[in-house]
Amino acid sequence: MFRFLILTTLRMIEFVYFCSMETNRQKKIGSVLQKDLVDILQGEVRKNGISNLVISVSKVIVTTDLSIAKVYLSVFPQDKAKDLLEAVKTNAPLIKHDLSQRVKLQLRKVPNLAFYIDDSLDYIEKIDNALSGKENPIVNRDLLEKRKKF
């Protein structure tokens, strides 16, 4: 009985590990979407005459069934990030249409787009500042705030 429990637990761990990894197809589709989304978003910023705003697509993660793509945006300056995210979310159907016109020869169906702000650079900067300060966050973990999960 004990041996059976260990074997099923190991199989479950293997299943979770291998199912959570991205396949080559997911990676390729993510990179195609990332390249074209950068062109679309930066083109819209230029077309609307917005200056002093830089948008980059830091990561695109596609689900295993290729139905949803999580798009992580980096926005500089950071104070305009929330407003820009709301604008991008409201225009998501138009962005998806433009994207489908660009990738129609590569993809049969364009996944639904879910946009998020990429806060990894801010998180790294906070860790850097904490490590260069007087108190050590490795010893006292309460000095760093918890990372937000979406």
Contact between 130 and 146 under an 8 Å Cβ cutoff? The reply is: no
| Domains present along the chain, CATH in parentheses | 24-118 (3.30.300.20), 119-150 (no CATH)
Strand partners, 117: 73
Q: Structure tokens of 130?
A: 């904490």
pLDDT one-digit tens code per residue, 134-146: 666 667 777 666 6
Residue 100 pLDDT: 94
H-type alpha helices, the chain: 2-20, 24-47, 81-90, 92-102, 120-132
Residue 45 has pLDDT above 70, yes or no: yes
Task: Catalogue the long-range contacts made by 41-47 (C-beta closer than 8 Å, 24 or more residues apart).
Answer: 41/73, 41/88, 41/95
Residue 30 has pLDDT above 50, yes or no: yes
Place 80 in a pLDDT band, splitting at 50, 70 and 90: confident
